[in-house]
Structures are given as C-alpha cells and as structure tokens.
Amino acid sequence: MRKIQVITLFPEMFEGVLNSSMMWKAQDQKAVEFRMINLRDFGLGLRKRVDDTPYGGGDGMLLMAEPLFAAINDGKKFDPTAKVVLMTPRGMRWKQSLAQTWSDSNDDYIFVCGRYEGYDERIMTLVDEQVSVGDYVLTGGELPAMTIIDSIVRLIPGVLGGENSAAIESFSDGETLEYPQYTRPEVFNGLEVPKVLLSGNHGEIAKWRAENSLKAE
C-alpha cells in the first residue's frame, strides 16, 4: 500500500478532499494510506511557534527550520524511504506525465506545504523534489499538495472505475485533449447530440472523436 504523508498547519483542509470520491475509494481499497502531520505539533515553546521574520528584512514571516526538520523527521520515522516533496512556485511544473510516472513508481511521499512568505531555505537539505502547480502564487501549499496527490492516486491501477479511463484522458499522450462527450437526452433545449455518436458505427465514431480532439498548447 502506498503511503502519502502531508506536513501542514491546516490538516482540516484535506479532510473533505481525501475522504471523498476516488481518494476515499483508494483508501477503502487499501491502495493508499494518508497521514497528516500537523506542523503546529512541532512548534517551539509554550505557544508552539512555527514562524519568524526573515533575516535581512522584508515583509511577512517564514516557517522556521526547526519545526520543519522535526516534522519531516517524524514522517521519515513512520516511513524511512518516503521522498520529501516541497510545494513551491520555484519547483518543476506539475503535469500529467509526472503524475503517471510518480503513480507508477511505487514511491511513498511526504508533501511539505509552505505558508506565509515561505520557509527557511535550510530545509532544502531534506527535500528530494520541488513541485509547482503553475505560475501563480497561492496562500499555502495545501491546494497544490491536494492537486498533486489526487492526480497521482487516481492513476493507481484499480482506483478508477473503467480500466481504460485514464489511458484515454486528456494529456495521457502528453498533448491531446479529450473530445467532447454527451449523455442523455438526445435533444436538450434544442441542442442535439452529434448524429454520428448515435449511429452505432464505431469506425465513424472513432474518426469523429479523433477529429474533435484538440492539441494542448
């Protein structure tokens, strides 16, 4: 069973996402085990402090190295070979082919979610991979971590319903976007389903789908 741990100040953000739909199913099937590590538990002093001002000045606060090291070590104690993945706009841009590779790899992961203005750079000594979900800045690493976890876990064999569901999806060949799809009724508000899809002619349907698949930019 794959093990995925997340270091976050906001573990409650993951409850809805990881306990619904495919992520719930993956746990139910024992394909994956999720473990939340609350960074606050490793905070310093009575107030469990996790952040401080940056050396050299500047706005905002940084997550301190000491609680982050302790939280990562806790994750490593639970799963010594797990890879440490830092969520950061500086990281490699996430894409479907990476989701497939990471899903196939059988590796376990510890996702580290930054907050505030970021983190003390010294945690890089413990980080194996840095990942970005795109060229924009979010408030924290939680949404990126959820996005990446979902994209990996749904590709674990057996998690998706149809065996071929993922194979024919957008980006599965690295560039093609899925063709338009329709379901009942045949006519809705005067809008008709393309006739070829009702024809039962599998060759023509495949041709129409190929013609109507887009190339991603």
- Cα–Cα distance list, 25 to 62, 109, 150, 193 (Å): 36, 19, 12, 32
Query: In terms of CB distance, is 86 or 166 closer to ligand SAM?
Result: 86
Q: Provide, rounded to whole angstroms, the least separation between the CB of residue 48 and ligand SAM.
A: 20
Query: In terms of CB distance, is 7 or 159 closer to ligand SAM?
Result: 7
3-state secondary structure of 115: strand
3-state secondary structure of 41: helix
Q: Provide, rounded to whole angstroms, the least separation between the CB of residue 25 and ligand SAM.
A: 26
Determine the distance from the C-alpha atom of residue 181 to the mean position of all C-alpha atoms in its chain, rounded to a whole number.
Answer: 25
Indicate the burial class of 168 (C-beta count within 10 angstroms; 0-12, 13-18, 19 or more). middle
Q: Provide, rounded to whole angstroms, the least separation between the CB of residue 68 and ligand SAM.
A: 11
Q: Provide, rounded to whole angstroms, the least separation between the CB of residue 39 and ligand SAM.
A: 12
Residue type, 182: Y
The residue number with the shortest CB distance to ligand SAM is 114
Residues that bind ligand SAM (CB under 6 A): 87-89, 113-115, 117-119, 132-134, 136-141, 144
CA distance 18 to 147: 11
The strand pairing partners of 63, in sequence order, are 51, 119
Q: Provide, rounded to whole angstroms, the least separation between the CB of residue 107 and ligand SAM.
A: 19
CA distance 60 to 62: 7
Query: In terms of CB distance, is 67 or 89 closer to ligand SAM?
Result: 89
CA distance 73 to 60: 26
Q: Provide, rounded to whole angstroms, the least separation between the CB of residue 90 and ligand SAM.
A: 7
Query: In terms of CB distance, is 26 or 87 closer to ligand SAM?
Result: 87
Query: In terms of CB distance, is 94 or 208 closer to ligand SAM?
Result: 94
Query: In terms of CB distance, is 61 or 197 closer to ligand SAM?
Result: 61
